[in-house]
């Protein structure tokens, strides 16, 4: 019986290569749901079982991890909530055709063979494929093909020796993805919302909002760059003095170095130098000579590939990995993402070398290498790293250069091939000589090296060794130096980090993996945190330095590698099975949330650091109170949190982050000087968590029986706060002449409409806009309130950007739908508040002096109740003041109601 088998590769090119090898080039192709991912079909036998093979591919990850809709908008929640907000994996819209292809093919198949890359990331993608295929056929027999190169030997061997996929590898990637998402999103929102509008960043585009991103690997990488830069800035140059001695003869020159090295005391150096000048006769007291060896490098892994390409060719790590991936997919080198730096004993190394014999440049060396008479072959050394998935990087196919290769392809293929030939070669051999002399009691030494056998250095042109010789010396020989000088020098700071240095530091401290290091480095450049010069050396920008300095003066070493290195070790433990996914997530997120909360409480220090480098912007500071000021979930829209805000006029309020779509707000007493959300939770209010607020009132503006410092609740249970609102009034809306609604005195009756001297609202006049209740446009400016002149909307008022810099537009909401602070706060108001409410709820006069009635487009009638000012349906059912007066729904206002024109 023939078994139908669905085969899935990670890329379309890999699917084609596997199909060509297994079918011998006889496969047929047809289209799938995705135009980029074809399906190849052919017959093949696996361990004696005849199979009908269908081979298709994905394009990297099929699924994305993201927060639930409730938490995706930046202002929808306190960033601290992201550490425990629900997340989900889903197939994005651009991958839906791939999902349909897999589901349709899986229904017709009995086996599923996964040809994904054989690393942790590939295993995670494999389980995404499994989840999708199982959704349409839960009875699939699932197998994993393990291979390291797209060559006949590896592919046929993988097909005949199938294994089961490793769920632990997939779990380790799930842990990394969730940790990175939660930490990255929380700190990125914190930094961007706190600083983005507060400072002038000259490199930010005018049309694009600057994102100050934070990544758990990206930031420690930036820390390395900044730390080296600070070392250079802190360096204090210091002069030193040294004595140099030179001797020339017919056999050559010898440069002798002072054994003391150098002295920082000029007087002492001058005195010693004068002693040597007075008695310049040099006596040779020791001559040593011995054979020395320079060993070839270990087999090539990903980290070394990136470091050497940067050092030899000044090629960026990102470009190195891009070119290496293309060479791998074309079948010229083995899999380029590997930690392994030794070859197993059963690896056929000589066959790899034999393929290179025909090369025009190093073919002659490869031929001598394989000749046993030359004794040039040597089993490569063991570098001590093994990822148990792939061998070291090596050439898999001979090439003298392809037509579609760029210069980078040629150079990288040359590096991989020469490195392989070098690592299977004998070390270079030389004879080193050292001569020591005495001048007036001071010792000097000179060394020389003569290479006797170059061996691997013949093919590995990237390294050199020795080449300098000295004359022959004998013990007891005396001579007068040809030159004896006292030279001054200056200490130099360490150089900026090169890309090779940066990769070495990341590798040593466990930041990122061999496959992701280049991505973290690229992000530093993309985010304007660092720049790279022509010598591939990195220096931080002002922004990068300011962010690191901000966290540094907070006392947190978030820019140091320790936290991330610990997480990487934990993820490795998950892949090894010594720790569980849940255990690592819980411990890592708990620790990072504590760091985040503390950093948030010390955000003023971040402002201090930024002020060293950037000018403050002229944008309103009111919106800078968003971070960590969450009080409760909004009960009106249920889509966002209510946060503590300070308006430009100094008044405090608790408002919904979904403004202007939701205008739910609680205004706080005018006498408030400072306010901050505490960690205390009110035990009486709900639904959900309601945090209590630390209040500090202005002394002299509240009655003497009240304390100036108080912790209260805005959920409705706090009688003290109710009394202070009644006594002091709130910052709801300003009146003409600058008087506030809710202030004590006769002006309490003047609320949301202009009044004549008798206190009766004028029917055709509107309140003047005030910053305390201003509508802000997309560019954070106070909007202009204009009146429409079109035939269909004549007389309606709307908000537009005052400078026409953005396309913000919003119809004015009738003032009756705005609840004042006292209305929103569940309390029995005093006389002033009752008078205010009566005037707010008075029906607006129509043409005949009668109260006008609202009409719905469907013919239903709604009117404001005489005693409460609320909208009701014709049946008498009340409509919420925060709902649409056309249809009664709370999800929108009347100006955007879908039933408006029906």
Kindly state the tokens that stand for 856.
């719905």
Kindly state the tokens that stand for 789.
């002149």
**Which pLDDT belongs to residue 741?**
38
**Which pLDDT belongs to residue 146?**
92
Per-residue pLDDT of 86-142, as tens digits, reads 999 999 999 999 999 999 999 999 999 999 988 888 999 999 999 999 999 999 999
Candidate CATH numbers 3.40.80.10, 1.10.287.990, 1.10.3720.10, 3.40.50.140; the one for domain 3-165: 3.40.50.140
Kindly state the tokens that stand for 293.
């060896």
Going from the C-alpha of 265 to that of each of 269, 488, 576, the distances in angstroms are 6, 11, 57
Are the folds of 3-165 and 174-234+499-611 the same?
A: no
Per-residue pLDDT band for 870 (boundaries 50, 70, 90) equals very low
Q: What would the DSSP string read from start to end of 759-791?
A: SPBPTT--PPP-GGGPPB-TTS-BPEEEE--ST
Lowest mean pLDDT among 358-367, 458-467, 746-755: 746-755
**With the C-alpha atoms ordered 839, 841, 842, 844, is the resulting torsion angle positive or negative?**
positive
**Is the per-residue pLDDT at 40 higher than 60?**
yes
Report how far residue 321's alpha carbon sits from residue 335's, in angstroms, rounded to the nearest whole number.
Answer: 11
Alpha helices, H only, 645-732: 719-728
User: Which residue bears the tokens 């998402």?
Assistant: 181
pTM of the model: 0.68
**Which pLDDT belongs to residue 671?**
85
**Helix/strand/coil for 519:** helix
User: Which residue bears the tokens 């037509």?
Assistant: 403
Report how far residue 547's alpha carbon sits from residue 191's, in angstroms, rounded to the nearest whole number.
Answer: 9
User: Which residue bears the tokens 């889903």?
Assistant: 90
Q: What is the DSSP letter of 256?
A: E
Per-residue pLDDT band for 897 (boundaries 50, 70, 90) equals low
Query: What ranges do the domains of the chain cover?
Result: 3-165, 174-234+499-611, 239-293+432-448+469-490, 302-426, 627-842, 849-902
Kindly state the tokens that stand for 352.
């790899």
Homologous superfamily, domain 239-293+432-448+469-490 = Topoisomerase I, domain 3 (2.70.20.10)
Per-residue pLDDT band for 209 (boundaries 50, 70, 90) equals low
More reliable by pLDDT, 745 or 400:
400
**Helix/strand/coil for 831:** helix
Q: What is the DSSP letter of 14?
A: H
Taking residues 11-35, report their average pLDDT: 92
**Which pLDDT belongs to residue 845?**
38
- Give the number of other Cβ atoms within 10 Å of residue 885's Cβ: 21
User: What order of strands is seen across the sheet that includes strand 537-540?
Assistant: 497-498, 537-540, 530-532
Per-residue pLDDT band for 38 (boundaries 50, 70, 90) equals very high
Homologous superfamily, domain 302-426 = Topoisomerase I, domain 4 (1.10.290.10)
Per-residue pLDDT of 599-611, as tens digits, reads 888 888 888 889 8
Q: How far apart are the first and last CA of the chain?
A: 64
Lowest mean pLDDT among 38-47, 160-169, 184-193, 776-785: 776-785
Taking residues 277-286, report their average pLDDT: 95
**Which pLDDT belongs to residue 732?**
56
**With the C-alpha atoms ordered 833, 836, 838, 840, is the resulting torsion angle positive or negative?**
negative
Taking residues 804-832, report their average pLDDT: 50
Q: What would the DSSP string read from start to end of 26-75?
A: --EEE--SSTT--EEEEEEEETTEEEEEEEEE--S-S-EEEE-GGGTSGG
Report how far residue 535's alpha carbon sits from residue 842's, in angstroms, rounded to the nearest whole number.
Answer: 76
- CB within 8 Å of 664: residues ≥ 6 apart: 634, 635, 636, 637, 642, 655, 656, 819, 824, 882
**Which pLDDT belongs to residue 887?**
65
Lowest mean pLDDT among 162-166, 415-419, 547-551, 664-668: 664-668
What is the overall mean pLDDT for the chain?
A: 82
Residues classed as catalytic: 335
Taking residues 489-514, report their average pLDDT: 91
Taking residues 224-234, report their average pLDDT: 95
Contact 170, 123 (CB under 8 A): yes
Lowest mean pLDDT among 444-448, 479-483, 623-627, 641-645: 623-627
**Is the per-residue pLDDT at 814 higher than 50?**
yes
Q: Which of 277-281, 795-799, 892-896 has the highest mean pLDDT?
A: 277-281
More reliable by pLDDT, 679 or 563:
563
Instruction: Quote the Cα angle for 9-15-21, to 5°.
Output: 125
The secondary structure element, H or E, covering residue 248 is strand 239-249
More reliable by pLDDT, 626 or 83:
83
Per-residue pLDDT of 437-447, as tens digits, reads 999 999 999 99
**Which pLDDT belongs to residue 896?**
59
**Which pLDDT belongs to residue 666?**
87
Residues in the chain: 902
Taking residues 144-155, report their average pLDDT: 89
Per-residue pLDDT band for 620 (boundaries 50, 70, 90) equals low
CA nearest neighbour of 63 among 96, 105, 102, 104:
96
Return the CATH class of domain 174-234+499-611: mainly alpha
Report how far residue 305's alpha carbon sits from residue 312's, in angstroms, rounded to the nearest whole number.
Answer: 10
CA nearest neighbour of 712 among 701, 700, 724:
724
Per-residue pLDDT of 648-696, as tens digits, reads 777 888 888 777 778 888 888 888 888 888 878 888 888 788 888 988 8
Alpha helices, H only, 279-316: 302-313
Kindly state the tokens that stand for 495.
């150089």
Q: What is the DSSP letter of 734?
A: B
**Which pLDDT belongs to residue 493?**
94
**Is the per-residue pLDDT at 856 higher than 80?**
no
**Which pLDDT belongs to residue 764?**
37
- CB within 8 Å of 225: residues ≥ 6 apart: 497, 502, 524, 530, 538, 539, 540, 544
Report how far residue 115's alpha carbon sits from residue 150's, in angstroms, rounded to the nearest whole number.
Answer: 11
Report how far residue 57's alpha carbon sits from residue 107's, in angstroms, rounded to the nearest whole number.
Answer: 17
């Amino acid at each position: 019986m023939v078994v139908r088998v669905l085969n899935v590769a990670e890329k379309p090119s890999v699917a084609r290569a596997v199909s060509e090898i297994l079918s011998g080039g006889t496969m047929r192709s047809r289209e799938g749901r995705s135009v980029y991912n074809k399906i190849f079909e052919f017959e093949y036998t696996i361990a004696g079982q005849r199979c009908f093979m269908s081979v298709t591919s994905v394009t990297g990850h099929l699924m994305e991890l993201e927060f639930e809709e409730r938490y995706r908008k930046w202002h929808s929640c306190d960033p601290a909530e992201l550490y425990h907000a629900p997340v989900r994996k889903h197939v994005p819209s651009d991958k839906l055709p791939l999902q349909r292809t897999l589901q349709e093919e899986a229904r017709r198949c009995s086996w599923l063979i996964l040809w994904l890359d054989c690393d942790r990331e590939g295993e995670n993608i494999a389980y995404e494929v499994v989840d999708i295929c199982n959704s349409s056929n839960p009875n699939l027999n699932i197998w994993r093909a393990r291979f390291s190169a797209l060559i006949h030997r590896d592919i046929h061997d993988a097909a005949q020796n199938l294994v089961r996929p490793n769920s632990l590898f997939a779990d380790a990637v799930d842990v990394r993805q969730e940790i990175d998402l939660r930490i990255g999103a929380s700190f990125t929102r914190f930094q961007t919302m706190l600083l983005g509008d507060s400072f002038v960043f000259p490199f930010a585009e005018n049309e694009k909002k600057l994102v100050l991103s934070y990544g758990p690997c990206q930031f420690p990488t930036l820390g390395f760059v900044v730390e080296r830069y600070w070392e250079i800035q802190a360096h204090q140059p210091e002069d030193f003095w040294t004595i140099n001695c030179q001797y020339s003869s017919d056999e050559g020159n010898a440069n002798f170095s002072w054994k003391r090295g150098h002295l920082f005391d000029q007087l002492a150096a001058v005195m010693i130098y004068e002693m040597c000048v007075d008695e310049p006769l040099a006596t040779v007291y020791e001559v040593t000579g011995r054979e020395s060896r320079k060993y070839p490098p270990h087999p090539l892994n990903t980290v070394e590939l990136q470091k050497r390409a940067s050092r030899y060719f000044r090629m960026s790590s990102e470009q190195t990995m891009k070119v290496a991936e293309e060479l791998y997919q074309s079948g010229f080198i083995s899999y380029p993402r590997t930690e392994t730096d030794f070859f197993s004993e059963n690896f056929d190394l000589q066959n790899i070398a034999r393929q290179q014999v025909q090369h025009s440049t190093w073919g002659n060396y490869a031929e001598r290498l394989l000749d046993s008479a030359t004794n040039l072959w040597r089993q490569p050394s063991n570098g001590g790293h093994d990822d148990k998935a792939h061998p070291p990087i090596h050439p898999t196919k001979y090439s003298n250069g392809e037509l579609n290769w760029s210069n980078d392809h040629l150079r990288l293929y040359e590096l991989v091939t020469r490195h392989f030939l070098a690592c299977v070669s004998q070390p270079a051999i030389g004879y080193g000589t050292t001569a020591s002399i005495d001048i007036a009691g001071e010792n000097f030494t000179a060394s020389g090296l003569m290479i006797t056998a170059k061996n691997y250095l013949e093919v590995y042109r990237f390294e050199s060794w020795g080449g300098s010789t000295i004359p022959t010396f004998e013990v007891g020989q005396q001579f007068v130096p040809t030159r004896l000088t006292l030279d001054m020098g200056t200490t130099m700071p360490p150089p900026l980090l090169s890309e090779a240095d940066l990769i070495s530091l990341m590798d040593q401290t466990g930041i990122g993996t061999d496959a992701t290091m280049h991505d973290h480095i690229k992000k530093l450049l993309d985010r304007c945190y660092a720049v790279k010069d022509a010598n591939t050396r990195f220096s931080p920008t002002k922004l990068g330095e300011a962010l690191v300095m901000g966290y540094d003066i907070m006392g947190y070493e978030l820019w140091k590698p320790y936290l991330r290195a610990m997480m990487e070790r934990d993820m490795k433990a998950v892949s090894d099975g010594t720790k569980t996914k849940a255990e690592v997530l819980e411990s890592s997120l708990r620790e990072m949330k504590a760091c985040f909360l503390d950093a948030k409480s010390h955000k003023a220090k971040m402002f201090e650091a930024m002020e060293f480098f950037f000018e403050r912007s002229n944008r309103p500071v009111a919106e800078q109170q968003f971070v960590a000021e969450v009080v409760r979930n909004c009960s009106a829209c249920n889509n966002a949190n209510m946060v503590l805000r300070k308006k430009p006029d100094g008044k405090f309020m608790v408002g919904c982050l979904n403004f202007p779509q939701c205008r739910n707000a609680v205004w706080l007493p005018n006498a408030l000087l400072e306010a901050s959300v505490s960690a205390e939770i009110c035990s009486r209010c709900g639904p959900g968590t309601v945090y209590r607020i630390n209040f500090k009132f202005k002394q002299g503006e509240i009655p003497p029986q009240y304390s100036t410092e108080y912790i209260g609740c805005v959920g409705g249970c706090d009688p003290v706060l109710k009394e202070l609102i009644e006594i002091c009034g709130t910052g709801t809306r300003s009146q003409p002449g600058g008087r506030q609604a809710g202030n004590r005195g006769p002006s309490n009756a003047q609320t949301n409409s202009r009044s004549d001297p008798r206190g009766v609202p004028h029917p055709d006049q509107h309140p003047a806009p005030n910053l305390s209740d201003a509508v802000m446009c997309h560019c954070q400016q106070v909007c202009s309130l204009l009146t429409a002149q079109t035939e269909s909307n004549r007389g309606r008022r709307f908000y537009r950007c005052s400078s026409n810099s953005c396309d913000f537009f919003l119809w004015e909401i009738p003032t009756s739908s705005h609840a004042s602070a006292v209305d929103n706060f569940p309390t029995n108001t005093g006389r002033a508040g009752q008078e205010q409410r009566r005037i707010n709820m008075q029906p607006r006069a129509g043409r005949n002096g009668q109260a006008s009635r609202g009409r719905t487009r469907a013919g239903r009638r709604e009117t404001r109740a005489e005693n409460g000012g609320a909208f009701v349906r014709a049946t008498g059912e009340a409509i919420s003041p925060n709902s649409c007066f056309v249809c009664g729904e709370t999800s929108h206002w009347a100006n955007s109601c879908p039933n408006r024109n029906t």
